[in-house]
Each structure stands twice: as C-alpha cells, then as structure tokens.
Amino acid sequence: MEFSNTSGKIYIAGHNGMVGSAIHRALLKKGYTNIVTRSSKELDLRNQNEVNDFFKSEKPDFVFLAAAKVGGILANNTYRAEFLYDNLMIQTNVIHASYTNKVSKLLFLGSSCIYPKMAKQPLTEEALLTGELEPTNEPYAIAKIAGIKMCEAYRDQYGVNFISAMPTNLYGPNDNYDLKSSHVLPALLRKFHEAKVSGDSEVQCWGTGSPMREFLHVDDLAAGCLHLMLTYDQKEFVNIGTGTDVTIKDLAETIASIVGFNGELVWDSTKPDGTPRKLMNVGRIHASGWKHEIDLKEGIKQVFKEFTNNDC
Ligand code: GFB
C-alpha cells in the first residue's frame, strides 16, 4: 500500500512525546484518520512479547517510530545505561515486528548526535561512522546508529521499505521543561521566565555558551516526516534541519529578550558544553522538495506563549 492512500492504518510509536504528537497533529491535518496509538503504560515497547502481540492484532500498514528515551546533555550523560538499553529495545522490537507483520513502510527517527564529534561541518549523511562520538551522548548515539543500520540491513536482506530521518535539535509543543532532563531551549525559557517572575537578577546557564546548535520546530519536523513517507524510498538516511545554527549564547540572549528577562546570564563552565557544533547539511532533503518554514525567533515566541498558557 502507498502512503498517499489515507485509509492505510498508521501506528505512531511515541504519540505522547513531542515528536510523536507533532506527527499525530500533522497526519490529522492531512486527512489521515486511521491512526493507532498506545501510551507507554498500555504498551511497553521494551517488551518484545507485548510489541509482537500488539502488531499481530493491529496489523498497521505504516509505522512512525518516534518512541525513544530522550533528554538533554545532563540526562544523556547521567542515565547512560538507560539511554542505551531502552532505545535499543524499543527500536529493535518495533522494527522487527514491523518486518514480521509486513508493514508497508516504516520511518525511523534518529538524531544529529549520531555524527562524530569532530566531523566536518555542515554534517553530510556520509560523515556517519567516520570518527569518535561525543562522549556525553555516546550511548544514545550508538543506539540510534544501530537503528539506522537495522533499517538498512532489513531493506538489504528482506526487501522492506524502512527509511530513516535524522532530525537536528528540536523544540515545540509538549517539550520537556524539567530542568534536570530537558534540552537547552525549554530549560532556558523556563529559567528566564521564573527569574523574571521572582525578580532574580541573574540566571545560571550551563557550559561556556560557545557551542553552536541548530534548532528546528517540531511541526516542521513532522511535515518533513510526512514528506519522506510520501516521496522517499531510498536506503540512505536523510538529515532534517534548517541548515543554520546559532551559538548557545546567542540563543540564550534571544530567549531572554522574548521572555523579557533583563538580568545577567552567568555561564557555569563546570557543566559540559557537549559537541562544539552539529550543523546539518540539508542538501538531500532540500533536493527532494522539502524545506522548513518556521523561523527560530517566531518559533520561540510561539512556545513561550504555549508555556505561559499551560503554566508549565
Ligand atoms: O540541549 P542540550 O542539553 O543538548 O545542550 P546537546 C545544548 C548546549 O546548551 C550545551 C548548553 O552546550 C549545554 O551546556 N546549556 C546551557 C544548557 N544552559 C543549559 C541548560 O540550562 N540546560 C541544558 N540542557 N543545556 C543533546 C544530546 O545534546 O542533544 C542528545 O545529549 C540529543 O543525545 C539532543 O542528540 C538533541 O545538543 O548538547
């Protein structure tokens, strides 16, 4: 079955997460209604028997594999065993069950941290496995690389149409605002907002502020994922990003000005910087006819509005 047939049954693994919920919204907007979901309480994707039973009874035609254990630099570095185990189990079970239950097409979502720490910028897809990984997120990266290789190997050996996309750093609705496990953008948004509300004169930011990061709104990512499901059937995985990056210091100043925090930003260099830079080369996805739409400043304004409305 082709993905253009909107009556096909779609399973979104991880539909409550930031990425899965964005894919869910995008699918509904495009008229896809035959969507099956399970919360992690209903279905533990780390459990192979549960996953096999679910696939046997639901028989989805298409799978978006957006379920993963994710987090910012501190969570990745602290829960190294969980990031490796949970992600390997989730993706292995879902990819294998998709093969045994004859899923027509699967999209696996990875991360820009799969690339070597010192890879040439911007990162082309060919840079995979050409050097040492960034130590703070090596377990997560190893799991994601295994997922890419699994999709490639299943294509080679079994002829299935499993593809992979590598998003850059993401932000948007349903992000994680817990300061110990979140990524930089939601963390700073919350810190500046709380400092403003309580009248604090300074906010602690992690690292030196010199690393560079690229940020993509998750609704853009979801649109890119649908685009790939509709148009892309190749073995080679695809970067999804904006193609531009900013220093963490610039990002912090932009967020502070949107939030209206006028105090001082103090950089805590005892906290890790992580990869110095991980800018995606987005030539492959641009050539396939897709480009992001949401400008970073506009996107931050949008999430700040949602954050204050939800009173996170
Ligand atoms: O977003 P983040 O946690 O993840 O951190 P990575 C990006 C940069 O922001 C680092 C700095 O240099 C942090 O030190 N930073 C400054 C902060 N203030 C803060 C803060 O309050 N909270 C956080 N979290 N960071 C993750 C990987 O790397 O990115 C994952 O560990 C994944 O594997 C994800 O790939 C997208 O971009 O460094």
Tell me the per-residue pLDDT of 178-197, one tens digit each, with 9 for 90 and over.
Answer: 999 999 999 999 999 999 99
Q: Is the pLDDT of residue 312 over 60?
A: no
Mean pLDDT of the chain: 97
Q: What is the DSSP string of 160-192?
A: --EEEEEE-EEE-TT----TTT--HHHHHHHHH
**pLDDT value, residue 121:** 97
Q: Is the pLDDT of residue 107 over 90?
A: yes
Under the banding of pLDDT at 50, 70 and 90, the label for residue 310 is: confident
H helix or E strand, kind and range, residue 233:
none
Q: What are the tens digits of pLDDT across the range 6-44?
A: 999 999 999 999 999 999 999 999 999 999 999 999 999
Residues 104 and 303 sit within 8 Å (Cβ to Cβ)? no
Q: Which residue pairs from 31-40 have beta carbons closer than 8 angstroms and sit at least 24 positions apart in sequence?
A: 31/6, 32/6, 33/6, 34/6, 34/7, 34/8, 34/9, 34/10, 35/9, 35/10, 35/11, 36/9, 36/10, 36/11, 36/12, 36/60, 37/11, 37/12, 40/16, 40/67
Q: 287 vs 133, 225, 242, 273, CA distance in Å?
A: 28, 15, 14, 33
Give all strands (DSSP E) within 195-247, no chain letters.
202-206, 212-213, 215-217, 238-240, 246-247
d(CA 134, CA 244): 21
Residue 27 tokens read as 């699918």
Return the residue whose CA atom lies nearest to atom 33 of ligand 1: 137
Q: Is the pLDDT of residue 311 over 70?
A: no
CA of 175 to the centre of ligand 1 (A): 14
Residues 257 and 195 sit within 8 Å (Cβ to Cβ)? no
**pLDDT value, residue 156:** 98
d(CA 158, CA 272): 42
* Nearest-10 crossing angle of helices 80-100, 48-58: 30
CA of 80 to the centre of ligand 1 (A): 15
Alpha helix (H) residue ranges in 41-173: 48-58, 73-78, 80-100, 138-158
Provide the b/e sequence for 283-297 (b: ≥16 CB within 10 Å): ebbeeeebebebebe
- Which residues approach ligand 1 with their CB closer than 6 A? 72-73, 76, 111-113, 136-137, 140, 169, 182-184, 187-188, 205-207, 211, 213, 248, 271-275
Q: What are the tens digits of pLDDT across the range 240-297?
A: 999 999 999 999 999 999 999 999 999 999 999 999 999 999 999 999 999 999 999 9
CA of 254 to the centre of ligand 1 (A): 16
Residue 138 tokens read as 């090596």
Tell me, which fold does domain 10-175+215-243+279-294 have in CATH? Rossmann fold (3.40.50)
d(CA 185, CA 18): 14
Enter the DSSP assignment of 157. Answer: H
140 is catalytic: yes
Q: What are the tens digits of pLDDT across the range 202-235?
A: 999 999 999 999 999 999 999 999 999 999 999 9
d(CA 29, CA 200): 42
Q: Is 11 helix (H, G, I), strand (E, B) or coil?
A: strand
**pLDDT value, residue 83:** 98
**pLDDT value, residue 58:** 98
Q: What is the dihedral of CA 10, 236, 123, 291, to 10 degrees?
A: -50
**pLDDT value, residue 265:** 98
**pLDDT value, residue 245:** 98
Return the residue whose CA atom lies nearest to atom 16 of ligand 1: 206
Residues 100 and 54 sit within 8 Å (Cβ to Cβ)? no
Say which residue the tokens 């400092």 belong to: 195
% of the chain beyond a pLDDT of 90: 99
The residue from 140, 154, 171, 232 that is catalytic is 140
Q: What are the tens digits of pLDDT across the range 36-82?
A: 999 999 999 999 999 999 999 999 999 999 999 999 999 999 999 99
**pLDDT value, residue 267:** 98
CA of 9 to the centre of ligand 1 (A): 36
% of the chain beyond a pLDDT of 70: 99
